[in-house]
Amino acid sequence: MGRTGLYIIILWYLVYVLVISADAADTKHLNIWPMPQSVSYGYGSLYLSNDFVLKTKGSKFADASGILKDAFFRTINVVKATHVIEANTSNINPTFVLKGIHVVVLSPSDELQHGIDESYKLHIPANGNPLYVHIEAQTVYGALHGLETFSQLCHYNFSSRGIQVHQVPWTIVDQPRFSYRGLLIDTASHYLPLPVIKKVIDSMTYAKLNVLHWHIVDSQSFPLEIPSYPKLWDGAYSISERYTTADAAEIVSYAVKRGINVLAEIDVPGHAQSWGVGYPALWPSPDCKEPLDVSNEFTFKLIDGILSDFSKIFKYKFVHLGGDEVDTSCWQSTPHVYKWLWRNGLNGSEAYQYFVLRAQKMALSHGYEIINWEETFNNFGSKLSRKTVVHNWLGSGVAQRVVKAGLRCIVSNQDKWYLDHLDALWQGFYTNEPLANITDPKQQALVLGGEVCMWGEHIDGSDIEQTIWPRAAAAAERLWTPYDKLAKDPEQVRDRLSYFRCLLNQRGVAAAPLEGLGRAAPEEPGSCYVQ
């Protein structure tokens, strides 16, 4: 090599180092959401190769269904979608270029179920030739979380017009604090088209949420096809606002490939007026349309049929049977139901218990464990199946009583984690602690986690994203990050959450500003990062 050529290489290297230094200074703050269990990093920078590849040598996971491969391409797409990539990394010294990701999954299984290992280790070395990102995980679903974290370490460089990873070397060891990290959507109050639901699922992966609680039907509408009882579909809002069984199976498949379980809910015996549009016999009377008729055997035959059809689609180990807000006065004021109550020696509250427990036995017979809203526990907790998970929603302190009774619990107290409450601010979402006042480790283990609830009375496809985000992300960190790593003052994470909100916007998710009430619009012109 001639002297001139050597000078050019040295000059290029000095310019490159200066660019690295300037860019590294801009990313001195750690912007990962949710915060991992353990993070260490350095001060170098690397480029992503134009031909960034996935390598799986040594992995026991065959990826027959393409879960890992598809996740890899999604990761690269979200990283590269921020700007047009113009850099030609073949002209850069290979010791500064990441050639790809080497993923090693230790389990050959792709089964997604409650309580699977979601841990991962991520390492990005500062030097080597060739250079690879390394992810190791027990399951493929832990690897997906590792890919998401990696995507948040990537940044577009406006000088080189390429993608860089700053602050190398990175070493991240991570796993979730809680096994259940949920988001409820409500397709009964307003119909949500399939592309909207899929986009919600995609956005959940960015915050490492792992359960989509699908509140499918309610008093207002019954949009889901039930092959065993096809007239239930008559309760949909319109002929087009419906889901076929194939649609439901597609949602489950789409979610599972992204590491998300789908929890299906039928809410009985209340919240079921729409059921009687196709089957009027389910109503106690034409003037008294809910709760479902407890005196009619057809009611339970139909519920059993629904659960049988569910078991062919929804493979998550839990099914949600509702059980909330049951007003039994309708039963007592309807002559034939009242006679049934009298013959069986039951009052209204005892008939409510009879209904819930019978529905539980049906669910158990179809291989499900049960989730019920907290009213069932508040009214007859000692009678519930021991396979019941009590879903808190009315207020705080419920989880304490549930786990003391030896049952499992999910926390969703409406004063903090109801997304439809627009006056519930992100700070409250962040500080809401599922284990509040629960100190016994055995009782703490009975709290499966928590869920933010996107009830749909005032939400449809036009505004669901900005109502969910970024407040759901604040709860997501509470559910993922170790307790001692959580900020005691939510203002300490404001900048990082604001950064994540802007990242969601860059990825096409309509996340609202942090300032103001839920789904508030920006107040004035300004940077995304200060709204």
Distance CA 421, CA 454 (A): 9
What's the pLDDT band for 531 if we cut at 50, 70, 90? confident
- Are 204 and 137 in contact by the 8 Å Cβ rule? The answer is no
pTM, rounded to two decimals: 0.94
| CA–CA distances in Å: residue 467 to residues 293, 462, 464, 477 | 36, 10, 5, 18
Name the band, by pLDDT with cuts 50, 70 and 90, for residue 329: very high
Contact (Cβ atoms closer than 8 angstroms) between residue 452 and residue 411: no
pLDDT digit string (tens) for 207-260? 999 999 999 999 999 999 999 999 999 999 999 999 999 999 999 999 999 999
Which range has the worst mean pLDDT, 50-54, 127-131, 499-503? 127-131
Q: What pairs with residue 155 in β-bridges?
A: 164
Domains of the chain (ranges; CATH) run 38-174 (3.30.379.10), 180-488+501-507 (3.20.20.80)
With CA atoms as reference, report the closest residue to 248 among 274, 221, 272, 214. 214
Q: Check residue 530 and give its pLDDT.
A: 87
User: Is 268 within 8 Å of 292 (Cβ atoms)?
Assistant: yes
Q: Say which DSSP state 418 is in.
A: B
User: Exposed (0-12), middle (13-18) or buried (19+): which is 457, by Cβ within 10 Å?
Assistant: exposed
DSSP per residue, 145-188: HHHHHHHHTEEEETTTTEEEEEEESEEEEE--S-SEEEEEEETT
How confident is the model over 156-203, as pLDDT tens digits? Answer: 999 999 999 999 999 999 999 999 999 999 999 999 999 999 999 999
Question: pLDDT above 90 covers what percent of the chain?
Answer: 89
The verdict on whether 491 is a catalytic residue reads: no
Does residue 46 contact residue 124 with C-beta atoms inside 8 Å?
Answer: yes
Asked whether the predicted pLDDT for residue 13 surpasses 50, the reply is: no
Please report the pLDDT score of residue 516 as a whole number.
86
Quote the pLDDT of residue 487.
96
Contact 170, 119 (CB under 8 A): no
Phi, psi values for residue 522, rounded to 5°:
-55, 140
Are 180 and 233 within 8 A, CB to CB?
no
pLDDT of 25 strictly over 70: no
Residue 29 is predicted with a pLDDT of: 67
Average pLDDT, the chain: 93
**16 φ, ψ (degrees, to nearest 5):** -60, -45
Q: Where are the alpha helices (DSSP H) in 326-372?
A: 329-333, 335-343, 348-365
- CA contacts within 13 A on the Cβ side of 343: 8
Neighbours of 85 (CB within 10 A): 17
**CA atoms of 122 and 136, how far apart (whole Å):** 7
Span 89-112, average pLDDT: 95
| Residue of 136, 225, 297, 325 marked catalytic | 325
Grade residue 482 by pLDDT with cuts at 50, 70 and 90. very high
Give the model confidence (pLDDT) of 114-167 as tens digits.
999 999 999 999 998 999 999 999 999 999 999 999 999 999 999 999 999 999
Q: What is the DSSP string of 34-95?
A: SPPSEEE--SEEEEEEEEEEEE-TT-S---TT-HHHHHHHHHHHHHHTTS-----GGGS-GG
pLDDT of 8 over the 90 cut: no
Q: How far apart are CA 402 and CA 398, in angstroms?
A: 6
Half-sphere exposure of 64 (CA within 13 A, CB side): 5
pLDDT digit string, tens, across residues 264-293? 999 999 999 999 999 999 999 999 999 999
pLDDT digits (tens, 9 = 90+) for 410-443: 999 999 999 999 999 999 999 999 999 999 999 9
The secondary element (H helix, E strand) that includes residue 134 is: strand 131-137
The count of other CB atoms within 10 Å of the CB of residue 437 is 9
